[in-house]
Amino acid sequence: MSPLLITLLVVGVLVLWVIFLYNSLIRSRNRTREAWSDIDVQLKRRHDLIPNLIESVKGYMKHERELLEQVTKYRSNAIEAQNQGNTAALASAESMLGSTLGKLQVAVEAYPDLKANTNVGQLMDELSDTENKIQASRRFYNSMAQEFNTKVESFPNNMIAGKLKFTKFDFFEITDAKERENVKVSFT
């Protein structure tokens, strides 16, 4: 084989590798963005359910006003962070909202009349289902982000990915250690 043919073959293989890598990174990035969009959809659903739940519960839980106000406040914070596209702020706000919703669910359990109310029961079921979907969406997003980040950081991909301006995705995670603690609700 001539040196020219060998050189052309090596260049051809390198070009094919770069094309394959680029397409692989694009696919992975799009899947990660889709996973983020799934979180967005579930968070929107949660944000839409909360006002209905609060209105249904208000009449029964006059002395739990502070808890309802916290839910409303954290919902607003989460929507603001979501609109800004700030992953870290959104993770923190959603964590606080989730924790407060857990307290609300415990409070609802303490009121037999409220618990028996059909509208409240359905809303609580929907909210619980949404919370489960949010958790599943977060796990899927983090999995996709991890897969993409590994591709971007692995050698020799990192040499090409950096030049093509592929950047890592942030993980959706709890940033405040207090949010990892069990929810404590007391009616004393």
Q: Can you name the CATH fold of 32-180? A: de novo design (two linked rop proteins) (1.20.1440)
- 8 Å CB contact between 71 and 123: no
* Three-state DSSP state, 72: helix
What single-letter amino acid sits at 183?
V
pLDDT score of 63: 55
Kindly tell me the sign of the dihedral angle through the C-alpha atoms of 182, 87, 153, 176.
Answer: negative
Q: Give the pTM.
A: 0.62
In eight-state DSSP terms, residue 183 is P
List, in order, residues 6 or more apart from 124 with CB less than 8 Å away: 53, 105, 108
Side-chain half-sphere exposure of 46, counting CA atoms within 13 A: 29
Helices (H) and strands (E) in the chain, counts: 6, 0
67: helix, coil or strand? helix
From first to last of its 188 residues, what are the pLDDT tens digits of the chain? Answer: 788 889 999 999 999 999 999 999 999 999 998 998 888 888 888 888 778 777 766 666 665 677 778 888 888 888 888 888 777 788 888 888 888 888 777 777 776 665 556 666 777 788 788 888 888 888 999 999 999 999 999 998 898 898 889 999 988 776 655 544 544 544 33
